[in-house]
Amino acid sequence: MSKNVKTYILLGAVLMIWGIIAVKVFGVLSPEPEISVFAENVNFKPKEIIQRDTFSIVSDYRDPFLGTMSTSKKNTIKKTKRPVVQFPNINYTGLITGQQNKDNIFFVTINGTQYLMQKRGENNGVTLVSGTSKNIRVRYKGIAKTIQLQNATN
């Protein structure tokens, strides 16, 4: 075979391969709309539900590693409802920062009475846990609450 014949055969093979690839790509990109077939008589019978057999495993045998019998006791946890704690009316109105030491004094209004409080200080059952210039964290009867600075301008 001459060189030109081989070139034409290979050129034809390459064009066929690229043609097949192009047909597949265009077929995916522009699919023809499928014709929907409606079935009027459809007999649907649901499968019967089979009740499964249930079982439980009782593991009252000797522990192979310790050599003792297992003593599994069922722990019943009694859930008790906590009484609803009525939080007093607490407002955070400001703070004084000390220059020499890092102690901050917070202005806290509890039920209309203003108090000066430091961290871990307590008034009327309300304990000041922590505080920043934007909010304070207080605890009353074991429940903690975060209170934002009143009339804060951002």
- What is the span of the domain harbouring residue 119? 90-148
Number of domains making up the chain: 1
pLDDT of residue 70: 64
pLDDT of residue 12: 96
Residue 65 counted as domain residue: no
135 vs 24: CA distance, rounded Å: 65
Percentages helix, strand, coil for the chain (3-state, rounded to 5) are 20, 30, 55
Residue 57 counted as domain residue: no
If you ran DSSP here, which 8-state letter would residue 100 be given?
A: S
Q: What is the pLDDT along the chain (154 residues), one digit of tens a residue?
A: 788 999 999 999 999 999 999 999 988 887 677 676 666 666 778 888 888 888 888 777 777 788 777 665 556 677 777 777 788 888 888 888 877 777 788 888 888 888 888 888 888 888 989 888 888 999 988 888 898 887 755 4
Does this model's pTM top 0.85? My answer is no
Residue 14 counted as domain residue: no
pLDDT of residue 74: 59
Residue 43 counted as domain residue: no
pLDDT of residue 9: 95
Q: Which residues pair with 67 in a beta bridge?
A: none
pLDDT of residue 17: 97
Q: Are 87 and 145 in contact (CB under 8 A)?
A: yes
pLDDT of residue 52: 84
139 vs 144: CA distance, rounded Å: 4
Residue 20 counted as domain residue: no
Residue 77 counted as domain residue: no
Residue 38 counted as domain residue: no
DSSP per position, 110-134: ETTEEEEE-TT-EETTEEEEEE-SS
pLDDT of residue 85: 75
Q: How far is CA 27 from CA 24, 62, 86, in A?
A: 5, 68, 70
User: Residue 136: which CATH number?
Assistant: 2.30.30
Residue 21 counted as domain residue: no
pLDDT of residue 149: 84
pLDDT of residue 5: 93
